[in-house]
A and B are shown apart, each in its own frame.
Chain A
Amino acid sequence: KAGVTQTPRYLIKTRGQQVTLSCSPISGHRSVSWYQQTPGQGLQFLFEYFSETQRNKGNFPGRFSGRQFSNSRSEMNVSTLELGDSALYLCASSLPDNEQFFGPGTRLTVL
């Protein structure tokens, strides 16, 4: 069974731009979660989607948004990029009440 895939793996943007990251979960997993990892703040929860509905949201500004499609694939969008948005963005998928399996991440650099 294929693992969680994320595209692109690396991304360089400039301040003020917007970016869209994509995540394809493990087949059969309907829950997709997103995390931001930075050296200073560590791993922080962004949001979680299940059956195209956002069920949980972390403490991030409205510039961070996401969505999930009927095939469980998910995208997250960051608008008006700031330098502090530079991070590794991790996507994870899971079955109900089960461990989360992570993708390889997207490394975003904002210049």
Chain B
Amino acid sequence: AQTVTQSQPEMSVQEAETVTLSCTYDTSENNYYLFWYKQPPSRQMILVIRQEAYKQQNATENRFSVNFQKAAKSFSLKISDSQLGDTAMYFCAFMKHSGGSNYKLTFGKGTLLTVNP
């Protein structure tokens, strides 16, 4: 079974600054996906970024980027130029890649990020 650990229950950052959220995972699988989802106060779960384990290059989406260290089983999210709208709960999630037969997401407990003006 896979486990996902987010060691920072809460974090805060000043507007326009950079913040990094940590995530580690445990799996015996070699092919998998990792995701960061954002859940603002509206409770709508929004995909922030995805990473395929077979890709060495770290994924980037505008102000969001990841540091994927496969050997260390680490998957951190960096948010640059933080904005007030980034205030949300952030979840790290794991999904095994198995030819389309398994779509279970395993989530971490989440990190509550507050961006201060």
Contacts and interface: CB of A to CB of B under 8 A. Distances in A.
Contact of B103 (A42, A48, A107): A48
Interface of B: 33, 35, 37, 42-47, 50, 91, 95, 97, 99-110
Report, nearest first, the 9 A-B pairs whose CB atoms are least far apart.
Answer: A102-B45, A43-B107, A96-B100, A45-B104, A48-B103, A42-B109, A99-B50, A99-B47, A104-B44
Interface residues of A, number: 24
A94 B47 contact: no
Interface string A88-111: 101010101101111011010000
Interface in A34-93: 35, 42-43, 45, 48, 50, 55-56, 58, 88, 90, 92
A106 to B, nearest CB: 10
Contact of A31 (B33, B103, B106): B103
A55 to B, nearest CB: 6
Given A42-B109, A43-B91, A102-B37, 6 more contacts: A42-B108, A56-B102, A97-B97, A99-B33, A102-B45, A104-B44
B93 to A, nearest CB: 8
Chain B, interface SS category:
loop
B43 A104 contact: yes
A33 B105 contact: yes
Given A42-B110, A97-B97, A99-B35, A90 B104 contact: no
Chain A, interface SS category:
strand
Among A42, A50, A88, the one with the most B-chain Cβ atoms within 10 Å of its Cβ is: A42
B43 A100 contact: no
A97 B47 CA distance: 15
Contacts of B33: 97, 99
B107 A94 contact: no
A33 B103 contact: yes
B43 A105 contact: yes
